[in-house]
Amino acid sequence: MEISFWPQAYTSERVSPQASQTDETTSFAKMLQSEWDKSTQISTPPLQLPFLLPMLQQPLFLDEKNTYEDVTTLQTKAGEVYSPAEQKVEQSKGTAPTSKAESYGPLIESIAGEFGVDAKLVKAVIQHESNFNERAVSPVGASGLMQLMPSTARALGVKSIFDPAENIRGGVKYLKQMLDRYNGNEALALAAYNAGPGNVDKYGGVPPFKETQNYVPKVLNTYRSYA
């Protein structure tokens, strides 16, 4: 039984050894082939070193069709299949990228001013909700910079949940409603933003949910750090 040493993709049809082969290369290849035959005792096709050149020149990736492609080409194809608008990105954690926070600063200040809400509070909410990632989507479906649930977004008049301006406007509008409902109490407003006003009313304060009890002080601390 004859076993081929090289993958099927490496054939003379893909790379022409004659194009770059020298007498020295041929001699060295024959020597390696001879040593390989002695050690394995398996009949193999001639070992031709020029086939190594593509591997040294660029990274290769074996796809499902048993062909080798440039990694850059595969990344381009992935971008064509999954456009940024279709990709759901889980909200990231940690410190918000300075450039992102600064780039949304004027928009946040403008919309916050429309509703009479402190822009620094809005920024703190956005940082902990999505880390300024306009494409963020939570496991339960909250989306965009201010992590609006689809039903809440519709009720607030948001038509494009991933549009930064619409998302921020809807989120600030909702936050303003919660601030008015709880007479400007920021802790209760934030608790309602996170867990819903029904739960705040039910428990007469910040609900005993671990997530909400962690969320409220974190947002307030970030808000105060902006002052």
Query: What b-and-e string marks burial along 88-101, b requiring 16 or more CB atoms within 10 Å of the CB?
Result: eeebeeeebeeebb
The pLDDT of residue 99 is 81
Candidates 2.60.40.10, 2.30.40.10, 1.10.530.10, 1.10.357.10; CATH matching 99-226 = 1.10.530.10
- Helices 186-195, 210-226: crossing angle, 10 deg rounding: 130
The sign of the CA dihedral 162, 167, 171, 173 is: negative
The question of whether 69 is a catalytic residue gets the answer: no
User: How does residue 133 score in pLDDT terms, banded at 50, 70 and 90?
Assistant: very high
Lowest mean pLDDT among 6-10, 31-35, 37-41: 6-10
Range in 24-38, 44-58, 103-117, 126-140 the model is least confident about: 44-58
Render pLDDT for 85-128 as a digit per residue (tens, 0 to 9).
333 333 444 455 568 889 999 999 999 999 999 999 999 999 99
Model-level pTM? 0.58
Please tell me the distance from the alpha carbon of residue 53 to that of residue 178, in angstroms, as a whole number.
65
Q: Of the given ranges (17-31, 171-185, 204-218), which has the lowest mean pLDDT?
A: 17-31
b/e map of 195-207 (b: 16 or more CB within 10 Å)? Answer: bbbebbeeeeebb
Confidence band of 34 (pLDDT split at 50, 70, 90): low
Residues 168 and 111 sit within 8 Å (Cβ to Cβ): yes
What does DSSP say about strands 68-70 and 60-62: parallel, antiparallel, or unpaired?
A: antiparallel
Burial profile 64-87: b = 16 or more Cβ within 10 angstroms, e = fewer: eeeebbeeeeeeeeeeeeeeeeee
Q: Which of 24, 90, 109, 129 is catalytic?
A: 129
Predicted pLDDT at 215: 98
What is the percent of the chain with per-residue pLDDT over 70, rounded to a whole number? 56
The residue-averaged pLDDT of 17-33 equals 54
Crossing angle of the two packed helices 164-181 and 98-115, in degrees rounded to 10: 50
**Whether residue 144 has pLDDT greater than 90:** yes
The per-residue pLDDT for 82 is 31
Domain ranges within the chain, ordered by starting residue: 99-226
